[in-house]
Amino acid sequence: MEHTIATHPFSRRLMLGLSATAVGGALVGCSSQSTGSDFGKNTALKVPTHVDPPDVPGQIVSAVDGVPPGYTQLPKKLPTTTKSVPGKGGSFTTFQVNWGAPPRPKAKNKYWQELEKRLGVTYEPTLVPADAYEDKLATMISGGKIADMVFLHTDSANAQRAVQDGAFAELSAVLGGDKIKKYPNLANVPQYQWEASAINNGIYGIPVDLAYVNSLHVYRRDWAEKLGFDAAPKNADEFYQLMTGMSGSKVGSGKTYGFGGYSGGVTQFINAMFKVPNNWSESDGRLTHMIETDEYEQALTYTNKLWRGGAFHPDALSLAEQGAKDRSLFESGTIGCQVASADTWFRSGGLDAVRSKGGEGSDPQLLLPFGHDGGDYAFPSSPGFYAVVAVSAEAASDEKRLAEILSIMNYLRAPFASAEGFFLRFGLEGVNFRYDKDGAPTPITENAANGDVDGLSYTGLVPVAFFYPDDSQHVTDTVHYTEAVTKSSIKDPTVGLFADSSAKVAPKLAELTTDYVNGMVTGRKPLSALKQFRQDWRKQGGDQLRTELQKGIQAG
């Protein structure tokens, strides 16, 4: 059975490093210009006060920022974090991302009906498939009818323009400092997330929770043992021997490879070995892009060496965009190393599937990063947030209506180990879940109500947590792994800065990077092409981005 509550597969944030997405720099924060009615008026960010969520038995709370809490168990009686029904009986519209099948219509959907009762509103969501987000957002904004609550990617060109044009409310006046205590669940948001997600020193939404490290690397330890490794690899040479050995030796029942797709997860791991900067490095206000560094060249050369050594599947470039297929190759015993989120690994279809489908003695284990020389590594962290959940400026123009919307958002941001959070994630007993013999909530998968909760509950406000009641050790392992990598992670110094030209030049730079990097890794282009790549990158918008971002740094 699947028992998981953790981060969704935010692929855009995962694809860091040598891949094409790491080209544009940060897209939110300080700017030398301001447009729209009030955009850019704040001279300093009013960081909301932080309040810890209720402590419950079985909770593992890390002292390291950016590590989600874990729960080895849930108490029978969960604390309640809201005092009353937040809504006033009217309609409440949302624009939210849907990661799977849509929920059933309200008339057949008991969870939807109960959600409306608990929120005190007529809940009217616009559910947008993830791959149609940009187009649907543009359509909503151009139509002038913006939902009360909007899942807003701040690295979206349409979102940036809408914020600058005043389409969304700046919330510092009602959430800054101690004012947020009126909404205690919103006050659970860590302060570093408010700082990272701020736009021109303004609060334009509630940060969507994202761990600094939101992926775990796993390898086939049984294959490694067949190749003579009595422990996990601890430097670049050993890793090369392991990955190429998995491709060149009969470690499985058929043809095997070290890697499947040449994905962002692979490049994260290799970049960490060589301490490649996280997009940019900064010194005395001067920015250097990762591709301009010696560390990047070393990582690129090493990746090419792995390719020439046969470590990658022949379809590695196409598999990079086919996560499900890539994962199936790991599960079936075709490839020996994979990266995915914790909830992917610790559920049916994750590590258990590898053990059952991967051949006799299959033993997938977590693999921590390491330095290329056996020393320290520097893992590229996420920004700590994925998007923001914004409030339309029109709805916020009415003070009482804004307070109602924030109260609803306060309910929807309930912590995992709370009565409200439990309902939002699991739904109704006997309809969406049942308790197993150990008292753990188990989704009911054999009826049509199975998709109703996931289809409606992901507003972006749900905080990340690790909960795997099938084996509480998975929770402990996940927290410890995430904590260890987070301690050795490096941040992108441009998070919280704004580049006006990014929306225009980033797609062009992404295409340029894909062509050069894939070419140099696979040998289609010589490694010496890196010099020309750097020149083209600067000329085609890289230097322009640098100049704009440096102005943000200088402005403080």
Residues in the chain: 556
What mean pLDDT do residues 484-490 have?
98
Asked, for residue 405, whether it belongs to a domain, the answer is yes
Asked, for residue 42, whether it belongs to a domain, the answer is no
Q: Does 92 share its domain with 64?
A: yes
Q: Please say if the pLDDT value at position 3 is more than 50.
A: no
Q: Does 371 share its domain with 510?
A: yes
Q: Please say if the pLDDT value at position 37 is more than 60.
A: no
Q: Please say if the pLDDT value at position 2 is more than 80.
A: no
Q: What pLDDT was estimated at residue 319?
A: 93
Range of the domain at 182: 48-212+384-467
Which of 426, 446, 467 corresponds to the end of one domain?
467
Q: What pLDDT was estimated at residue 349?
A: 55
Q: How far apart are the first and last CA of the chain?
A: 50
- If one compares 166 and 44, the residue with the highest pLDDT of the two is 166
| 44, two tokens | 């300093």
Asked, for residue 475, whether it belongs to a domain, the answer is no
What is the total count of domains within the chain? 2
For 248-293, how does the pLDDT look when each residue is reduced to its tens digit (9 = 90+)? 888 988 899 999 999 999 999 999 999 999 999 999 999 999 999 9
Q: Please say if the pLDDT value at position 317 is more than 90.
A: yes
Cα dihedral 204, 205, 207, 208, rounded to 10, equals -130
Q: How far apart are CA 484 and CA 251, in angstroms?
A: 30
Q: Does 510 share its domain with 542?
A: yes
For 345-358, how does the pLDDT look when each residue is reduced to its tens digit (9 = 90+)? 986 558 888 888 88
Strands (E), 140-215: 149-152, 206-209
Q: Does 200 share its domain with 229?
A: no
The answer to whether residues 362 and 223 touch, using CB atoms and an 8 Å cutoff, is no
What mean pLDDT do residues 308-335 have?
94
Q: Does 357 share its domain with 228?
A: yes
User: What residues does 288 pair with on adjacent strands?
Assistant: 281
Q: Please say if the pLDDT value at position 8 is more than 70.
A: no
| 493, two tokens | 């110094």
The answer to whether residues 290 and 24 touch, using CB atoms and an 8 Å cutoff, is no
Proportion of the chain above pLDDT 90, given as a percent? 75
The answer to whether residues 69 and 55 touch, using CB atoms and an 8 Å cutoff, is no
Which of 467, 491, 522 corresponds to the end of one domain?
467
Q: How far apart are CA 440 and CA 285, in angstroms?
A: 52
Q: Please say if the pLDDT value at position 455 is more than 90.
A: no
Proportion of the chain above pLDDT 70, given as a percent? 92
Q: Does 368 share its domain with 462?
A: no
Asked, for residue 426, whether it belongs to a domain, the answer is yes
Q: What is the pTM of this model?
A: 0.89
Q: What pLDDT was estimated at residue 156?
A: 83
Q: Does 145 share its domain with 99?
A: yes
Q: Show Cβ contacts of residue 167 under 8 Å, excluding neighbours closer than 6 positions.
A: 141, 146, 392, 393
CA–centroid distance for 424 within its chain: 20
Q: Does 224 share its domain with 173?
A: no
Q: Does 195 share its domain with 106?
A: yes
Provide the pairing of β-strand 364-366 with 216-220.
Answer: antiparallel
Q: What pLDDT was estimated at residue 300?
A: 98
pLDDT band at 38 (very low <50, low <70, confident <90, very high): low
Q: How far apart are CA 498 and CA 31, in angstroms?
A: 5
pLDDT band at 342 (very low <50, low <70, confident <90, very high): very high
Average pLDDT of the chain to the nearest whole number:
90
Q: Does 275 share its domain with 130?
A: no
Q: State the angle between helix axes of 157-164 and 133-143 in degrees (0 to 180), rounded to the nearest 10.
A: 30
The answer to whether residues 97 and 147 touch, using CB atoms and an 8 Å cutoff, is no
Which uninterrupted H or E stretch holds 403?
A: helix 399-412
Asked, for residue 548, whether it belongs to a domain, the answer is yes
Asked, for residue 346, whether it belongs to a domain, the answer is yes
CA–centroid distance for 437 within its chain: 33
Q: Does 192 share its domain with 321?
A: no
Which of 467, 491, 511 corresponds to the end of one domain?
467
Q: Please say if the pLDDT value at position 36 is more than 70.
A: no
- The domain that contains 295 carries what CATH number? 3.40.190.10
| 219, two tokens | 């390898």
Q: Which long-range contacts link 53-60 to residues 24+ away (Cβ below 8 Å)?
A: 53/81, 53/185, 53/188, 53/415, 53/417, 53/418, 54/79, 54/81, 54/415, 54/417, 54/418, 56/417, 58/472, 59/417, 60/475, 60/476, 60/479
Using alpha carbons only, give the angle 48, 54, 59 rounded to the nearest 5 degrees: 115
Taking CA atoms, 449 is separated from 8, 78, 343, in Å, by 20, 24, 21
Asked, for residue 199, whether it belongs to a domain, the answer is yes
Q: Does 505 share its domain with 438?
A: no
Q: How far apart are CA 412 and CA 119, in angstroms?
A: 9
Q: Please say if the pLDDT value at position 32 is more than 80.
A: no
Asked, for residue 476, whether it belongs to a domain, the answer is no
- 515 C-beta neighbours (distance < 10 Å), count: 16
Q: Show Cβ contacts of residue 430 under 8 Å, excluding neighbours closer than 6 positions.
A: none
Instruction: Give the three-class secondary structure for 64.
Output: coil
CB-based burial label for 473 (10 Å; 0-12, 13-18, 19+): exposed
